[in-house]
Amino acid sequence: MSTGYVYDPLYLEHNRVGHVECRERLETTMQVLREQRLLDRLVEIQPTQVPMDHLLEVHHEHYVKLVREVSERGGGHLDPDTYVNERSFDVALLAAGGLLNLVEAIMNGEVANGFALVRPPGHHALRGRGMGFCLFNNIAVATAYALQRRGLSRVLIVDFDLHHGNGTQEIFYDTSQVLYFSTHQYPHYPGSGHWSEIGEGDGQGFTVNVPLPAGVGDEGYERVFDEILYPLAERYRPEIILVSVGYDAHWADPLGMMLLSTTGYARLARTLKEMAEELCDGRLAFTLEGGYDLQATSYSIAATLQALMGQEVYDPLGPSPQPSVPIDDLIIHLKGTHRLV
């Protein structure tokens, strides 16, 4: 079955000159996808603005009103890192709606898997607060839709951005209907994501944080996916897998100190595709979070799509020029914490 993608030129209109979370992230990506003729092999999923009742299943009404008001008066900042301009409210609604439409297309059997090329990103957005460049939590909105509107009871969220998805964790911290799994550089912004954060109440044991030291590369990430994520997913048996992917863990990215390569990102995507095919009829949706080196992000998105389509991956940037640090002790500890031994 085919692979879908979501994109709309409106995503470029949330922009602030000089900010790393800029329109060029998607402009460069779309240029690379056209050059590699990947768009011709993908199914385009049209985004629409997320219905307000869906958005309010995740975010507080007063916060949604705040974002609208800041946007309507010409823009401003929700915090020092997180800007809003006059188009941001509409763009953020279209970003959340774009991923929701992709999940709907997957659930309806129109595509097997896909990638929502949306912005602004979402995984830092809390129920009542935007932060970390994020306005609305796109993946949380899509997850709530899958659970409440499509009758699912088990969603696996895999987050392998450079930064911990504190917003997604907060929203689903007390439920067993979501298994939230995050790899991230630690300690790093936003400061959360310690291995001891495992959920509470009905959700205890259903939050899994992998706080990685700086300098972990392809081999380390592969070990985490193979030795921690895969057995957890087999035990959980998700009905769909949703992925927050940030390309700021690439060795060329200016904001982090991780050493993933474009080829490494593709290998992780292949692992997730295999996992979805084994556990949930191939249902797998990616959504874009971080990634701030334009070349690294663009080529890694292309490689991710190539992996989802089962094609050969093109990596013009090559492997990290630095050696990777070992994480044997962390893996042993996490296996014990989550009863994988």
pLDDT at 88: 98
CA pair distance 168, 140, nearest whole angstrom:
6
Single pTM value for the model: 0.98
* 124 classed as catalytic: yes
Question: What is the model's pLDDT at position 1?
Answer: 72
Q: Closest by alpha carbon to 78, among 68, 87, 245? A: 68
- Nearest in space to 112 (alpha carbons), one of 15, 4, 221, 247: 4
Closest alpha carbon to 327 in 157, 185, 230: 185
| 341 residues of the chain, pLDDT tens digit each | 799 999 999 999 999 999 999 999 999 999 999 999 999 999 999 999 999 999 999 999 999 999 999 999 999 999 999 999 999 999 999 999 999 999 999 999 999 999 999 999 999 999 999 999 999 999 999 999 999 999 999 999 999 999 999 999 999 999 999 999 999 999 999 999 999 999 999 999 999 999 999 999 999 999 999 999 999 999 999 999 999 999 999 999 999 999 999 999 999 999 999 999 999 999 999 999 999 999 999 999 999 999 999 999 999 999 999 999 999 999 999 999 999 97
Which neighbouring-strand residues pair with 243? 158, 286
Among candidates 49, 16, 226, which has minimal Cα distance to 136?
49
Instruction: Choose, from 14, 59, 124, 188, the residue flagged as catalytic.
Output: 124
Coil, helix or strand at residue 321: coil
Domains in the chain with CATH codes: 3-337 (3.40.800.20)
Closest-CA residue to 236 (of 133, 124, 340, 93): 340
Please, what is the Cα angle at 141 between 29 and 102, to 5 degrees?
A: 50
DSSP string, 157-168: EEE-SSS--HHH
Token pair belonging to 230: 């895969």
Phi, psi of 84 (to 5 degrees): -135, 130
Q: What is the dihedral of CA 42, 311, 185, 29, to 10 degrees?
A: -40
